[in-house]
Amino acid sequence: MSHSEANRVRIFDTTLRDGEQSPGASMTLEEKLQIASVLENMGVDIIEAGFAIASEGDFECVNKIAQRVKNSTVCSLARAALGDIDRAAEAIKPAASGRIHTFIATSPLHMKFKLQMEPEAVIEAIHKSVSHARNLCEDVEWSAEDATRTEMDFLCRAVEAAIKAGATTINLPDTVGYTTPEEYAAMFRTVIERVPGADKAIFSTHCHNDLGLAVANSLAGIAGGARQVECTINGIGERAGNAAMEEVVMALKTRSDAMPYHTRIKTQEIMRASRLVSTVTGFTVQNNKAIVGANAFAHESGIHQDGMLKNAETYEIMTPESVGVTKSVLTMGKHSGRHAFADKLKDLGYELGDNAFQECFRRFKALGDRKKNIYDEDIIALVDDEVATSANRMQVVSLNTYSSTTGSAFSDVTMMIDGEEKKAVVYGSGPIDAAFNAIKQLIGFEPHLQLFQVHAVTQGTDAQGECTVRLEYEGRTVNGQGAHEDTVTAAARAYVSAVNKLLVKREKTAPAPM
């Protein structure tokens, strides 16, 4: 193995599995496929596409992603149960490169209270599950759930059993975000030194952010010998989330002097991936978030601004362009033609079918009639909104609202529902409330509104509003997005987007902790 290959860190992205376990972050099949495509284009080594045994919907997502993705390994999670492993193997079967990821808890706390298994039974389960997975797939990853609270002697025994059974990747996760960088690095060094055959496997980190140490711990794990990092876009995930992929990757790239390791990630694609995941999940990225936050490359202090004008390196350790951040670019207007619009979409990284392109172009021209300045961000919001709603059973055809400071508002909404046009005029306490009430009357059921948020895509009073709505109905929670220069219309589109997702039955039935 070359020195360069020995220092390469593989990026294992679990946005579609662990990230989706964030409350309210459930994704549709099309959204998962869209994110998987972006991850593949970024150069992600392994995409954990889901937990195949959890439901028919999860199986379908893993299977479809396995069919589509060609340049990344597609992975499915499985518990240490033969049925789980068989289902995972079936799901990843179409993949050009597939992986089964099986796990079992190894800490005394988990073995006693969750598994209710004796240590020897756990060792036997490791051997049995990993051997079975290896008979079905050459690429098998095994994880010691709650590794950082596992006794070292037993952890080494468990890892040795997994490697002997055929595991090619060994993951030692900090499942509850408990460890510190020094402890985590030492754990990897000790296991790698003590376990016979450790050189036959790649060791991996998987860190949760409960104490805000997920990225620091992941980097420490690399220093301790790990050569795979499990992470998510924007750090989404259960509780406080996972290690943020963009932070790990840019830390390695920016501080290669202190950490002589590298990845295959095309960092210029980071911002696009961040925006897509934020839009799909409805989880807004905080302004001061490292790498992808709105203020990550903004400088307000007078001293900072003076330094930046003289030399950008005074306060920027990396360029905005290196992560795909560009200034708002004033783009075409209402007189721009189809060819120019197609070129712009290509520059922004979009490839649309003919029908989707024609509808996006129509909306772009309409936007140009109503909005003085159109920016790249406007087009991104418009296209993402169109792609998300084009195949829906329900769509907003027209919406008119009236409101005043002295009385209630009413909304006149026309919708297309399964090919039939329906109309309702309903009152509410405000224009958005009235619009939502009208939609509920037309669809015939009343979901519970859990979240409503809106932000301006660009500057100015004529900026498009990008809206996210989270609805809950009969135990299912979904997000919907909508964009329009009229905030009420954006809200209505977001609400209907969420309603359409509620119509797609996709329920989880099995937990996947890790």
Model confidence at 388: pLDDT above 70? no
User: Which of 209-213, 279-283, 447-451, 472-476 tops mean pLDDT?
Assistant: 209-213
**Homologous superfamily, domain 3-281:** Aldolase class I (3.20.20.70)
Amino acid identity for residue 246 in this structure: E
The verdict on pTM exceeding 0.85 is no
Model confidence at 512: pLDDT above 70? no
Average pLDDT value for residue range 303-332 = 64
CA atoms in the 13 A half-sphere facing the CB of 70 = 0
What's the distance, CA 474 to chain centroid?
A: 25
Q: Quote the pLDDT of residue 301.
A: 43
Tell me whether strands 409-417 and 420-428 are parallel, antiparallel or unpaired.
antiparallel
Q: Which residue has the higher pLDDT, 317 or 190?
A: 190
Q: Quote the pLDDT of residue 189.
A: 98
Q: Quote the pLDDT of residue 281.
A: 85
DSSP-derived letter for residue 97 is: S
Q: What is the largest CA-CA distance in the chain?
A: 78
Q: Quote the pLDDT of residue 327.
A: 61
- For the record, the structure tokens of 226 come out as 């790990």
- Could you give phi then psi for residue 465, rounded to 5 degrees? -100, 135
Model confidence at 86: pLDDT above 60? yes
Bridge partners for 143 per DSSP = 103, 171
Q: End-to-end distance of the chain based on CA atoms, in angstroms?
A: 31
CA-based nearest residue to 126, from 156, 94, 89, 90: 156
- Could you give phi then psi for residue 189, rounded to 5 degrees? -60, -45
Average pLDDT value for residue range 4-26 = 88
Bridge partners for 482 per DSSP = 467
Q: pLDDT by residue (tens digit) across 38-70?
A: 999 999 999 999 999 999 989 999 999 999 999
d(CA 298, CA 275): 18
Q: Quote the pLDDT of residue 282.
A: 78
Residue with token string 């098998």: 140
CA-based nearest residue to 37, from 83, 72, 78: 72
Amino acid identity for residue 200 in this structure: K
Strands in 394-402's sheet, in edge-to-edge order, are 394-402, 409-417, 420-428
Q: Quote the pLDDT of residue 231.
A: 98
Which helix (DSSP H) or strand (DSSP E) does residue 12 occupy? Answer: strand 10-13
Residues 25 and 244: beta-carbon distance below 8 Å: no
Bridge partners for 11 per DSSP = 229
Worst-scoring range by mean pLDDT, 188-197, 309-318, 388-397? 309-318
CA-based nearest residue to 144, from 136, 134, 156: 156
Residues 77 and 101: beta-carbon distance below 8 Å: yes
Q: Quote the pLDDT of residue 510.
A: 46
What CATH topology corresponds to 391-502?
A: Double Stranded RNA Binding Domain (3.30.160)
Whole-number mean pLDDT of the chain?
88
Which pLDDT band, with edges at 50, 70 and 90, does 299 fall under? very low
Average pLDDT value for residue range 426-440 = 93
Encode burial over 10-40: b for 16+ CB neighbours within 10 A, e otherwise: bbbbbbbbbbbbbebbbbbebbbbbbbbbbb
Taking phi first (over 0 means left), then psi (-120 to 50 degrees means alpha), and beta for anything else, what does residue 20 get?
A: alpha
Average pLDDT value for residue range 449-471 = 82
Tally Cβ neighbours within 10 Å of residue 249. 26
Residues 99 and 167: beta-carbon distance below 8 Å: no
Q: pLDDT by residue (tens digit) across 275-293?
A: 889 888 878 888 899 999 8
Worst-scoring range by mean pLDDT, 153-162, 290-299, 472-481? 290-299
Q: Quote the pLDDT of residue 298.
A: 64
The domain segmentation of the chain, as residue ranges, is 3-281, 297-326, 338-388, 391-502
d(CA 493, CA 387): 13
Residues 208 and 197: beta-carbon distance below 8 Å: no
- Based on C-alpha coordinates, what's the Rg of the chain? 25
**Virtual CA dihedral for 12, 17, 21, 27, nearest 10 degrees?**
120
